[in-house]
Amino acid sequence: MAAPSNAKASDAPRARIALVGCNHRTAPVELRERLAFTSQQALDAATELRRQGILEEAVILSTCNRSELYGVTMETSPTPADAMEEFLTSFHRIPRSQLDGRVYRWSGADAVRHLFRVAAGLDSMLLGEAEILGQLRTAYGEALARGVTGPVLNRVFQGALEVGKRVRSETEIGSRPMSVALAGVKLAERIFGNLKGHSAMILGAGEVAGQVAQQLRYRGIGSLRIVNRSYAHAAELAGRMDGEAVAWESLEKIMPEADVIVTSVGGADVVLTRAALDSAITARGGRPIFVVDLGVPRNVAPESAGLYNLYLYNVDDLGEIVEQNKKAREAEIPRAESIVAAHVAKFEAWRGRLGAAETVRHSIGLRDASESGEDQD
């Protein structure tokens, strides 16, 4: 007869949610750009986190303001955050010492609450920003399609999307939503005043570039050019915005004609060097150029900031507009927080039921094992 097992139903391991990340509050753009993931890198990293046994489910959310690893481990895993942080530094080849004090860790309901606040736009640099919910939806959708999520993260991220929709429809946080695109254009107006009669060039043709183009057109920009590595994508955006598409190879040739340059190009390479900008300013007879770098990693060489008559801003330089945006919407924060709290409680209730079901299944397994053991000599 087999020896009786000392395991109890209450010993059944339960799923635990873990989060490791950094954002605009904890890390400057110089570090965030080194920790950023492309869409493909996010999927590859999530797959590797599962392959190494660090996480059972994984989703990586990476935007200009944050890089966050969400995962599910079992309670038998003692320090999942340590392993996740070690993976983060190893993947990006960064000494772990550089993350001291820059990375936050949350688990359980705290991790869920953080994600729900992100979806609601409460954790953004620009309160109620327009882009984050779409970025979250894309990150989750791609992870789901890759097969790196599971029942727990599926429930969490579906709940986050619901929170984001409710906050935008039931509070004023979502009315006239602020975005980095709008903030960048507002900065340009401070330099040039009325944008009518001025020329603008946008590097990139993605979602943010489209929002910048729309804001520039709304504010009466004189001429608008779209430059992208894919000319077809540049032509598509230019067609929608009554602009002109330009081949990537002609970038430096037309730079002197632009009063305003906004960059939103994916990838890790600098696309505007100090030398190219210096040459453009010289060709303009010293007339200033206003550049907003919305890329993370940055698209413009940081040392360009020292050039005379170059006004260079990146995503961390939107402070004053951020504060104005917050003051206009902060009265709505308690209503949004109450929606977040209600959905956290809803998720925790679901997780409690899931844990009870796991305990029942574990108990049945123990009983079956014991009965099977009694039949053996």
Residues taking part in catalysis: 64
End-to-end Cα separation, the chain, in angstroms: 5
SS3 letters across the chain: CCCCCCCCHHHCCCEEEEEEEEECCCCCHHHHHHHCCCHHHHHHHHHHHHHCCCCCEEEEEEECCEEEEEEEEECCCCCHHHHHHHHHHHHHCCCHHHHCCCCEEEEHHHHHHHHHHHHHCCCCCCCCCCCHHHHHHHHHHHHHHHCCCCHHHHHHHHHHHHHHHHHHHHCHHHCCCCCHHHHHHHHHHHHHCCCCCCEEEEECCCHHHHHHHHHHHHCCCCEEEEEECCHHHHHHHHHHCCCEEEEHHHHHHHHHHCCEEEECCCCCCCCECHHHHHHHHHHCCCCCEEEEECCCCCCECHHHHHCCCEEEEEHHHCHHHHHHHHHHHHHHHHHHHHHHHHHHHHHHHHHHHHHHHHHHHHHHHHHHHHHHHHCCC
